[in-house]
Amino acid sequence: EELELYRAQTRHAIAEAEFEELRVVQAKRQEAMYLGNDYNNRRYVFNAPFNMVSVTKALQDLGEWSRSDPGCDIEFVICSPGGEVFPGMALFDYIKTLSRAGHHITTVALGYAASMGGILLQAGDTRVMGKESFLLLHEVSAGAVGKVGEVEDKLELMKVMCKRVLAIFVERSNLSEEFLESHMRRIDWWLTSDQSLEYGLVDEVR
C-alpha cells in the first residue's frame, strides 16, 4: 500500500510539473506575441481610404504613442487608394508635428500609395517603398455642385490645394513644379519604386 501511495504521489508530482512547464511555455508565447505585435513596436498600418473615421483612429493611436513613449521611432505603413484631402492633410500635419517633437517617422509604401497616400508618404523623415509597390500622383479632385458662385469658390479652393500639394512634392523630390504639374494634370501618373527613387520621391526601396 505504501508503494502504491508513493507511485500515485510521484505520478501526481510529474503531472503537476508537466502542467507548470506547459503554463510557462504558454506564458512566454503570449508575451512574445504581445511584444512582437505592431502596436507595441510602434508600427501603424494604414490600409483604408483617408476619411474622418480612419484618420481620427490614426491620430488617436499616434498621439497615444507620443505621450506614452516620447521620442520613440514610428513606422507608418501606407497601403491605400487615397481619399479625402482635408482629413489626409490633417494627418500629414500631425505626422510632421510628431517629427518636430523628436520622433523619427518612417513612412512606408507597400502595395500602393495612391493619391492622398502618395502625399502622406512625403511626411516621413525617411520614406521607404516596397520594391513591387506603386505610387499614384494626380491633381487634387473634388466634385462641385450648387450655385455658380459656390462652384467657382470650390474651384479656387482646389487650385490653392493643388499648389500646396505641388509644393510638398517639390520640397521632397528633385523635380520642378512645372515637371510635376505637367505629369499630374488631368491624368493618373503611376510610378514604380525605381522611378520614385530616381525622382527623389522616396529615400529607399526595400
- In DSSP notation, the chain reads -HHHHHHHHHHHHHHHHHHHHHHHHHHHHHHHHHHHSTTTTTEEEE-S-BSHHHHHHHHHHHHHHHHHSTT--EEEEEEE--B-HHHHHHHHHHHHHHHHTTPPEEEEEEEEEETHHHHHHTTSSEEEE-TT-EEEE--------SSHHHHHHHHHHHHHHHHHHHHHHHHHSS--HHHHHHHHTTS-EEEEHHHHHHTTS-SEE-
**Position 193 confidence tier, pLDDT thresholds 50, 70, 90:** very high
Percent of the chain with pLDDT over 90: 66
The most distant pair of C-alpha atoms in the chain lies apart, rounded to whole Å, by 102
Strands 204-205 and 134-137: unpaired
**Residue 92's pLDDT is what?**
98
**Position 149 confidence tier, pLDDT thresholds 50, 70, 90:** low
Q: Is 48 exposed, middle or buried (0-12, 13-18, 19+ CB in 10 A)?
A: middle
Comparison of pLDDT for 139 and 180, the residue scoring more: 180
- Tell me phi and psi for residue 40, to 5 degrees: -75, -20
- The answer to whether 80 and 50 are in contact (CB under 8 A) is yes
**Residue 150's pLDDT is what?**
67
Q: Which three cell numbers stand for residue 152?
A: 467657382
pTM: 0.78
Residue 136: CA atoms inside 13 Å, Cβ hemisphere, count?
18
* Per-residue pLDDT tens digits for 39-51: 899 999 999 999 9
Question: One of 54, 66, 80, 115 is an active-site residue; which one?
Answer: 115
Question: One of 138, 173, 193, 196 is an active-site residue; which one?
Answer: 138
Catalytic residue at 138? yes
The whole-chain average pLDDT of the chain stands at 89
Of 129-138, 147-156, 164-173, 188-197, least confident by mean pLDDT is 147-156
User: Cα–Cα–Cα angle for 59, 85, 99, nearest 5°?
Assistant: 40
Catalytic residue at 115? yes
